[in-house]
Amino acid sequence: MFPFAYTRVSNTREALDAGRQGGRYIAGGTTLVDLMRETVERPESLVDISALPLREITVTERAGLRIGALVRMSETAAHPKVRTLYPVVSQALELSASAQLRNMATIGGNIMQRTRCTYFRDVTADCNKREPGSGCAALHGYNRTHAILGTSESCVATHPSDVAVAFAALEASVHLLGPDGARSLPFADFLLRPRSTPSREQALRKGELITAVEIPALPRPLKSGYLKVRDRQSYEFALTSAAVALHIRRGVIREARVAVGGVGTVPWKLPAVEQHLIGERPSESLWTAAAERAADGARPLEHNGFKVELLRRTVERQLRIVGGTK
């Protein structure tokens, strides 16, 4: 590990001052400290924001939810309102990491976490995300777990977060506070596809701090859930995953929200699948037909072609589970 300065701040003004001077924010530290030990990350200055008052979950108008950036993953998953209003969020969190990590890691940190591409974590490998311009060892290396959607010639790494897939499906927004004031971004605009600059992963300005993630109110009743497919049943990242939320009234699907994980360079929303569902009655044939669109635009690599069919099956199965025809 390289030497670094450490500052603990007690209010947002101190945090923003330190951030403006180039300090790197840290809270749970469950990703950043690992990466510093491996010398993948070498921040000169850490700003510990754990004491900031960003630890509340509040119900917003007509039962949307606002989750403070420093609420722990485990607290969010266990919160009664999250469990009843948006089970897809609770399930995505409970299928993430390990119990110990969920007790430390925060919601803000979770959506900021960096890829699990093994070449990114191997400082001897070429990696445009870690060292811009050095190349991408995964493109012609072992790329079984890499992305098939949203890739570029510069990077094919997946985004590792599960709850980010639920946030993408539910069209959440990310609240930010920076030297120029507060703003919010749709979740779809917060995480960036790699394009030619994979080292830039979020649409954050210098010194900006995540203050909350807000899930909008959606029509009720809303059934939702998260399915994660992985090589082993615990403490593993997704090969594919699907976050589904359906509003079904008088036997007809009025609203549909679908996003997938483990396959995209960012959590991947599926508007074609959603449109196929809206206005239809739940049925086995509907789930199958809608899921046919799940891998539209996929560009598999040498070792991850299996993800195309696995993704279709994951979406079909989760539509069936949430839609309730079986």
- Answer whether the bond into residue 80 is a cis peptide, omega within 30°: no
State the nearest-atom distance from the C-beta of 155 to ligand SF4, in Å.
3
What is the rounded distance in angstroms from the CA atom of residue 86 to the CA atom of residue 106?
Answer: 18
Which residue of 31, 106, 128, 145 would you call a contact of ligand SF4, by CB under 6 A? Answer: 128
The SS3 assignment for 287 reads helix
Binding to ligand SF4 by residue 138, rule CB under 6 A? yes
Which residue of 89, 97, 117, 244 would you call a contact of ligand SF4, by CB under 6 A? Answer: 117
Residue 59 has a CB neighbour count (10 Å cut-off) of 13
Give 232's DSSP letter: S
Of 142 and 321, which CB lies nearer to ligand SF4 in the complex structure? 142
Question: Where does this chain touch ligand SF4 (CB under 6 A) — which range of 136-144, 169-177, 255-263, 271-279?
Answer: 136-144
Binding to ligand SF4 by residue 149, rule CB under 6 A? no
Question: Where does this chain touch ligand SF4 (CB under 6 A) — which range of 2-10, 62-70, 151-159, 314-322?
Answer: 151-159
Residue type at 21 in one-letter notation: Q
Question: Where does this chain touch ligand SF4 (CB under 6 A) — which range of 90-98, 114-122, 243-251, 270-278?
Answer: 114-122
Of 23 and 194, which CB lies nearer to ligand SF4 in the complex structure? 194
What is the rounded distance in angstroms from the CA atom of residue 98 to the CA atom of residue 87?
Answer: 19
Alpha-helix runs per DSSP H in 170-283: 187-190, 271-277
Pairing of strands 209-215, 64-68: antiparallel
CA-CA-CA-CA torsion for 116, 75, 208, 261, nearest 10 degrees? 40
Pairing of strands 252-261, 268-269: antiparallel
- Pick out residues in 198-217 that bind ligand SF4 (CB under 6 A): 198
Binding to ligand SF4 by residue 165, rule CB under 6 A? no
Question: Where does this chain touch ligand SF4 (CB under 6 A) — which range of 75-83, 120-128, 228-236, 244-252?
Answer: 120-128
State the nearest-atom distance from the C-beta of 76 to ligand SF4, in Å.
27
Alpha-helix runs per DSSP H in 149-238: 163-169, 187-190
- By CB under 6 A, name the binding residues for ligand SF4: 115, 117, 119-120, 127-129, 136-138, 155-157, 198
